[in-house]
Structures are given as C-alpha cells and as structure tokens.
Amino acid sequence: MSAVTATLAPRALYEEVAERLRQRIYARQLAPGEWIDELKIADELGISRTPLREALKVLASEGLITMKLRRGAYVTEASPKDLADVYHLLSLLEADAARAVARHASDAALAELGALHQELEAAIDDTARFFALNEAFHLRLLELADNRWRLQVVQDLRKVMKLHRQHSLQKSGRPRQALLEHRTLMAALAARDGERAARCMRQHFEGGLEAAS
C-alpha cells in the first residue's frame, strides 16, 4: 500500500477517508451537487474503492452525501427548506440544552463556558478560528447539559448545517452579531435564568438562519 495510506493508521481506514472527504465538502472543494469520482479519489488517496465506498456510506448516513441509484454518490444539495428544517430542530434542541445548563450546571462549568466565550471574543477578526471556537462552545454546552441522545442528534444535524455555516459567518457583520448573541446567552446563564437562556439560544439560531439563507 502507498505511503499516503500509511498515514491513515491507526484509525480504521474508511473512517479516516470519511473525515478527509468531510473536510473537502465543508471547504467546498467538493461542491454541492458534485458527482463523487470514486476512481479519481481512490487514486489520490492510494486506496482501493472498498474503504472509499464504506466512507461514502458513513457520509450518506450523515446527510452529506446522496446516493443515487445507478448514478453513484453526489454531494448533498440542501434546499432552503432543508436548511430551515435543520435550524429549526437545532434551535429547539440547543435551547433546551441552554435551559438545562442555566438551571443545573456547576459554577465551574459556567466558568469553563465563560473562558470559551472569551476566546471567541478574541477571535472576532479570524473567521476560521471564530468558526472553530463557536462550534466548540456549542458542543461543550451540550455536553454540560448531559443528555447523550440530544448530543448525538445535534452532532448529526450540525454536519448538515456546516454545509452552509462557513458561508454565513463570512457574511458582512455576521460574526459580530453572533458574538452579541453569545454575550446575551452568557448573561442569561450567569443569572441562572433558564427561560431567558433558551430564548437567547433560539434567537441565536434565528440570526444564523437569516445569514445562511
């Protein structure tokens, strides 16, 4: 096997291939609606088509790839309705998580979220870092809410959202507006006001959908 393949250990080969393709999709190196050329990609990675096809199944289960009968795999094109549906569900689930954190998280846990928020404040002029920290903040809040089923569903939905999320954060003024929304959320969490925290999270997703549309 080639030197490229050797770099894919120790993770299961198909999982590493899935991650590489996932990042290409997020970076728009594989554009929405684009056909996945299995022979070309397998050759680029120095692998057989078997692990590539297993990787495509993983991405299809996440909604990033659409398998078409007798036509192969295509990068998923999310319609405006698809995007609105994803944001709607994320709004409900993450608002519920914010309510739980406000009511039940320890002071140390809130301090941890506060530290992540401060990193977000400092990254306002670095879109890539802001994007990564924003995702880390939301993931940590969900972990602190302590419902693994909600976390699992949100992680799957966020994979679809990321097809558009990077573009929305690059829109003029959106990072600063998102930061303002985070500030109001942090204030609600600090006040231990569960309903206000939930409302702030819903408003955050409303702003994100508007920017992504």
Both ends of the chain: CA-CA distance in Å?
44
B/e letters for 55-84, b = 16+ CB within 10 Å, e = fewer, are: bbebbeebbbbbeeeeeebbbbebeeeebe
The stretch 92-115 carries a mean pLDDT of 98
Number of H helices, E strands in the chain: 10, 2
* Range from 46-50, 87-91, 161-165 that averages highest in pLDDT: 87-91
Query: Following DSSP, what letter does each residue of 13-31 receive, concatenated?
Result: HHHHHHHHHHHHHHTTSS-
Instruction: Report which of residues 195 and 31 the model is more confident about.
Output: 195
- At 2-37, the pLDDT tens digits run 444 445 444 689 999 999 999 899 888 998 899 999
pLDDT confidence bin for 169, thresholds 50/70/90: low
The stretch 85-101 carries a mean pLDDT of 97
Q: Please name which of 30, 42, 33, 29 lies closest in space to residue 66, comparing C-alpha atoms.
A: 33
Q: Show the domains of the chain with their CATH numbers.
A: 3-75 (1.10.10.10), 80-212 (1.20.120.530)
